[in-house]
Amino acid sequence: MVKVLEKAGCTVVYNTQQTCCGQPAFNAGFREESREVCIKFLEDFSGTDFIVSPSASCTGFVRNYYPTLFPDSALLKEVKQTGKRIYEFSEFLVNVLKIDDFQSVLWGKATYHDSCAALRECKIRKEPRRLLSKVKGLELMEMKDVETCCGFGGTFAVKFESISLAMADQKVHHALDTGADFLISTDMSCLMHLDGYIRHKELPIKTMHIADVLASGW
């Protein structure tokens, strides 16, 4: 992601002391513990023009749920400003930088998985596909039920393992039915879940994050 952003002309600062956005604790019901992590996030990313994340899940959480954690807090103004500055990687490239072609090269067929966070929380759909359409050698194929969840869902995968695996099975086989060599997404959480299933079943498809695709061939 840094490689692509720098090619786009951005000055990228990476804070090595950064930690989680706070979503796992929040989703598990630990709101006070989540607030502590969220406060650290606000401190870690203060003073920047933009915050770019390789995860729509984190982006959506900061935008949509931080305000619910600090409704009457002195931090609310900073929370709202942070929500306006944070972008998922693909939407930042297309909607803010107005760049969609990085002279990327990746030969093969690919299908794109819409993560729930990207599609439903961040309203991201066309941006990743636009970027992938510019990759030389890559043929993009749409899979059946493309907007269906992959089954990860954070704690859902732990609490409802059998359902989660069945959803992964359905998603992966829809991807395989397209003849794709690559299963691409914007979220590492989805890719981790799907890749684990693919590796366990020894299936002939490779998962890739869109940043790795855009950084290919140069």
Q: What CATH number does the domain containing 168 carry? A: 3.40.50.11810
Q: How far apart are CA 137 and CA 121, in angstroms?
A: 31
Q: Are residues 50 and 128 in the same domain?
A: no
Last residue of a domain, one of 68, 94, 120: 94
Residue 72, pLDDT > 90, answer no
Number of domains comprising the chain: 2
**What is the residue range of 199's domain?**
100-214
Rounded alpha-carbon distances, angstroms, from residue 73 to 12, 21, 35, 78, 80: 30, 18, 11, 10, 12
Give 140-189 pLDDT, tens digit per residue: 999 999 999 999 987 888 889 999 999 999 999 999 999 999 999 999 99
Q: Are residues 121 and 64 in the same domain?
A: no
Give 76-114 pLDDT, tens digit per residue: 999 999 999 999 999 999 999 999 999 999 999 999 999
Last residue of a domain, one of 94, 121, 148: 94
